[in-house]
Amino acid sequence: MGGPDAFARMWATVLTETGYVAMDHRGLVDQVREYTEVLLAALRSPRFNPVPVEGVGAGLVALRLTASRALATSLQLIGEELLRVVDTPDLKAERLPAVQGAFANGFATAMQYKIFRDQEAIRRAALDARRGAESALLASEARFRAMFDQAAVGIAIADARGVLVEVNTALATMLGYQVRHMRGMNVNALRFPNEPAAMHQPLLEMSVGERDHYRMERLLRRSDGTPLWTDLSVSLVRDETGVPQYLVGMFEDITERHLLEDRLRHQANHDPLTGLGNRALFTERLSAAFACGGDTRVGVCYLDLDGFKVINDSLGHDIGDDLLVAVAARLDDLVTAPGRMVARMGGDEFVVLIERSAGPDELVALAEKILAALAEPVPIGGHRLSVSASIGLVERAVVGATPAETMRDADVTLYWAKADGKNRWAGYDPERNAREVARFTLSARMPAAVESEEFYVDYQPIVRLSDSKLVGVEALVRWAHPEFGRLGPDQFIGLAEETGLIVPLGRWVLREATRQARRWHDAYGSRAPLVSVNLAARQTEEPNLVADVATIIKAANLPPSSIQLELTESAIMGTTGGPLQALHDLADLGIRIAIDDFGTGYSNLAYLRHLPVHAIKLAGSFMEGLRDGAEADPADAQIVTTLVALSHALGHEVIAEGVEDPGQAEQLRAIGCDSAQGWLFAKPGRPEEIERWLEV
C-alpha cells in the first residue's frame, strides 16, 4: 500500500503526459500531493463540502493543464486508484462520485474563465493592431501573431459574412485540416449536419451587428465527417463607424469531456453488476411516462426473487451475484419492445416499466412469461439453482395518479404476491388495499385505545324460557373509535387475535364486566344476573390466564360462580396440553364455562364429557328453521331437540342464541331449552337497560 505520496507521484506522472507543465516535476509532485490531501479530507469528512475539491479542479487549469485529457485521466485515477493506494478505514468510498463531480465542475468552471480571458486578450490585440500607429501596429501584430499561433485553443477570424480569413494551427488540427485549406472556407461548412436552426441564430445576429458576443457548446464536423464537440465563443470586431468587420472565434475541444460526461451519466444511471438501468433511471423514465398525460396508461411490474437471501447466505455472495446477473439477462431478453425497460431497484428487486401500456392483460402476460423464464434452473458454479419470484402488477391511467403512489401500490401488491404463497403475480386491488389500510390503522391505534378507554361493554339479556326472567347477561365489547365511529367486535376482534392485542383487551373486558357484576350484586343481591364474558382462543394460550382471571374476580370480591366464560367450540375442542389444564383450573376456581356458537364447528360430543363445561350456547343459525311458516325447517327443530337432550344428558345447561321471534321462543320452550338470548328479548345495550329487567 503506497499512501498519499505514491498516489501523488502517479497523478503527477499522468498529468505530465497530458501536456506541457509550467513547473518542474518535483514542484508538480508537491503540488499534486497537496491536492491529494484535499481529496482525502473530502472523502473522510462527515459532511461533504464541494468547494475545496472544486479548487483542486481549478488548480489544474491554473497549472495550465487544460487539455481534456488532464481532466479525464485525473477523474479516472481518482476513481480507480485513490481508494486502492490510500486505503484507510475512515475513507467513504460512496463519496467518490461526488468528489469526482466537484473536481470536474471546478475544472470546467476554471476553463471557462480562462477561455474568456484569452479571448479578451486576443480581441484587444486585434483591435490594437487595427487602431494603433504604424510602429505600434507592427509591435502588436507581432504579439498578436505569437499568441495566435501558439495558443492551445483553436482560433478563427472570419469576415462579417462568415468567410474564414485566418485560422490557427490548433483549430486546423482539431478539425483535421491544413491551415491553408481552411482559409476562404465559410464557417457554415464546419457545422455538423442536422444541427438545430436555433444554433445558427446568434451568428446571424452578430454578422448584422445586433450582438457583440456569444458563447455556446457546438457540435462541429471534422474533415472526415466525425463530430467534434467544442466550447465556442465568438466576439464581433467593428470598424470605426461601428459596422461589423470581423468575427473572432475561440474553440476548445471538449469532445473527451462530453464522452466522459456520457460515461459518468451512464454510470450514474446503471447498475454496475447487471448492466441494467438502476433505480434513478427507472424513476426518471416513470416520471416521464406520467408526464405524457392525456389518456396514456402506464404499467409497473415489480419483482422480488423468492428466498434469495438463503442462496446468498448458504452459497456465498459471488454465487448470489452470478444469479442476479443471470436473472437480469433473462428479464432483459423478455423485455425488448420499445417503451419497455427493465431496471434493478437494488438487492434482488427488479422492475419492468411499461410506458403506454395497452392494459392490464399485457402486464399479466408479461408476468406469466417472467415466471416461466425463471422456472428454468440457472446453472451457476456447478449448481443448478432454482429460483422463483413474486411479482406485483400495477396498471393505470397516468391522469389522476402519481409515480410515487404507483410505486407504493406496486410494493404493496408485491407483498400480496409473497403473502399469497410466492412464485406468483398479484394485481393491484384498491379495495384490498383499502381494507388493509383500515386494518392497519385499526391495529395501530388499538393499544392506545385500550389505554384511553375507547372501548366499552354492552350487555345483552339471557332470559329463562320457563318464566321469562333475566338470569344472565352477555358482555359484548364495542369500540367508540374517534374517527370511524362505533365499531362492532366483528370489525376488530379477529385483528386483535392476530396481533395478540386480544390479551390485554380481553383482560380489560373481563375487569370491566366483573366491576359491573359487582355493582349489580350490591344493588340486587341474589337477583343479580350471571355475567357471561367471551374468551378468545388466543387468550387460553396465555400462561397467565388463570392467575389473571383469579386476580380480577378477587379484586371485585365476587363469588366466582357469578362469572361465566364463553369459548367457541373450535377453541375448546382444539384445546390440549396447557390450555386444557387452564380450562380445568378455571372451572376449579368455580367459574362457569360455556361453549359459544355450538353447532357451527365439528364437535366431538363424546369428547365434551371430559371437559369442564357448564353450558352450551346453541348457534343462532339453528334458529332459522325454528321460524314459523315458510322458513320452518323440521330438520333444524330435530337437531335442536337432539342437542338439547344430549346436553342435558351430559349435565349441561342449554342457552339458545339469536332468538328473534316469538315462534322460535315457543318452540325452544317446548323442546325444553333452558334459556335464550336474542333481539326478541333485547338487543345488547347499556347496563342501565339491564336494570329495567331487575326492577320489575
Nearest to 40 by CA among 88, 110, 94: 88
Q: 536, 545, 665, 676: which one contacts ligand C2E (CB under 6 A)? A: 536
Nearest to 540 by CA among 527, 549, 531, 532: 549
The minimum distance between CB 543 and ligand C2E, in angstroms, equals 18
The minimum distance between CB 491 and ligand C2E, in angstroms, equals 9
Nearer to ligand C2E, 308 or 459 (CB): 459
Q: Compose the 444-473 pattern: x for residues touching ligand C2E by CB under 6 A, - for all others.
A: ----------------x-------------
- Cα–Cα dist 205/484, whole Å: 69
The minimum distance between CB 673 and ligand C2E, in angstroms, equals 15
Tell me which of Mg ion, ligand C2E, none is bound by residue 493, counting a contact when its beta carbon lies within the kind-specific cut-off of 5 to 8 angstroms. ligand C2E
CB atoms within 10 A of CB 450: 18
- Cα–Cα dist 321/135, whole Å: 75
678 binds ligand C2E (CB under 6 A): yes
Q: Distance between alpha carbon 128 and the CA centroid of its chain, in Å?
A: 65
Q: 229, 501, 658, 676: which one contacts ligand C2E (CB under 6 A)? A: 658
- Cα–Cα dist 473/458, whole Å: 9
Nearer to ligand C2E, 620 or 687 (CB): 620
CB 592 within 8 A of CB 655: no
The minimum distance between CB 497 and ligand C2E, in angstroms, equals 8
User: Which among 21-29, 530-538, 606-614, 687-695 is the span making contact with ligand C2E, rule CB under 6 A?
Assistant: 530-538
The minimum distance between CB 275 and ligand C2E, in angstroms, equals 56
Q: Distance between alpha carbon 152 and the CA centroid of its chain, in Å?
A: 51
CA geometry: angle 619, 624, 627, nearest 5 deg: 130
Q: 252, 348, 569, 596: which one contacts ligand C2E (CB under 6 A)? A: 596
DSSP element (H, E) containing 464: strand 455-464
Q: Compose the 69-98 pattern: x for residues touching Mg ion by CB under 5 A, - for all others.
A: ------------------------------
271 binds Mg ion (CB under 5 A): no
Tell me which of ligand C2E, Mg ion, none is bound by residue 488, counting a contact when its beta carbon lies within the kind-specific cut-off of 5 to 8 angstroms. ligand C2E
Nearest to 476 by CA among 675, 674, 677: 677
- The footprint of Mg ion on residues 565-604 (CB under 5 A) is 566, 596-597
Q: 140, 207, 278, 534: which one contacts ligand C2E (CB under 6 A)? A: 534
The minimum distance between CB 579 and Mg ion, in angstroms, equals 18
684 binds ligand C2E (CB under 6 A): yes
Grid coordinates given for 491: 370489525
- The footprint of Mg ion on residues 633-662 (CB under 5 A) is 657
DSSP element (H, E) containing 534: strand 530-534
Kind of pairing, strands 425-427 and 340-346?
unpaired
642 three-class SS: helix
- The footprint of Mg ion on residues 528-547 (CB under 5 A) is 534
- Cα–Cα dist 214/247, whole Å: 11
CB 622 within 8 A of CB 647: no
Tell me which of ligand C2E, Mg ion, none is bound by residue 271, counting a contact when its beta carbon lies within the kind-specific cut-off of 5 to 8 angstroms. none
Q: 271, 306, 597, 653: which one contacts ligand C2E (CB under 6 A)? A: 597
User: Which among 29-37, 214-222, 294-302, 654-662 is the span making contact with ligand C2E, rule CB under 6 A?
Assistant: 654-662
Q: How many residues bind ligand C2E (CB under 6 A)?
A: 24
Report the sign of the C-alpha dihedral through residues 199, 205, 210, 215, in that order: positive
Nearer to ligand C2E, 275 or 447 (CB): 447
Kind of pairing, strands 563-568 and 530-534?
parallel
In angstroms, the Cα distances linking 256 to 171, 315, 382 are 16, 43, 43
User: Which among 257-265, 266-274, 309-317, 529-537 is the span making contact with ligand C2E, rule CB under 6 A?
Assistant: 529-537
Nearest to 396 by CA among 385, 388, 405, 387: 405
- 569-602: buried (b, 16+ CB within 10 Å) or exposed (e) per residue? bbbbbebeeebbebbebbbeeebbbbbbbbbebe
- Cα–Cα dist 370/329, whole Å: 12
The minimum distance between CB 484 and ligand C2E, in angstroms, equals 15
Q: How many residues bind Mg ion (CB under 5 A)?
A: 5
Nearer to ligand C2E, 259 or 480 (CB): 480
The minimum distance between CB 477 and ligand C2E, in angstroms, equals 4
Tell me which of ligand C2E, Mg ion, none is bound by residue 510, counting a contact when its beta carbon lies within the kind-specific cut-off of 5 to 8 angstroms. none
DSSP 625: G
660 binds ligand C2E (CB under 6 A): yes
542 binds ligand C2E (CB under 6 A): no
Grid coordinates given for 48: 461533504
- DSSP string computed for 46-74: SS--HHHHHHHHHHHHHTT--SHHHHHHH
CB atoms within 10 A of CB 456: 14
User: Which among 88-96, 161-169, 481-489, 526-534 is the span making contact with Mg ion, rule CB under 5 A?
Assistant: 526-534
Q: 679, 686, 691, 692: which one contacts ligand C2E (CB under 6 A)? A: 679
Which residues would be at the binding site for ligand C2E (CB under 6 A)? 460, 476-477, 488-490, 493, 506, 509, 534-536, 566, 596-597, 620, 657-660, 677-679, 684
Applying CB under 5 A, the residues found at the interface with Mg ion are 534, 566, 596-597, 657
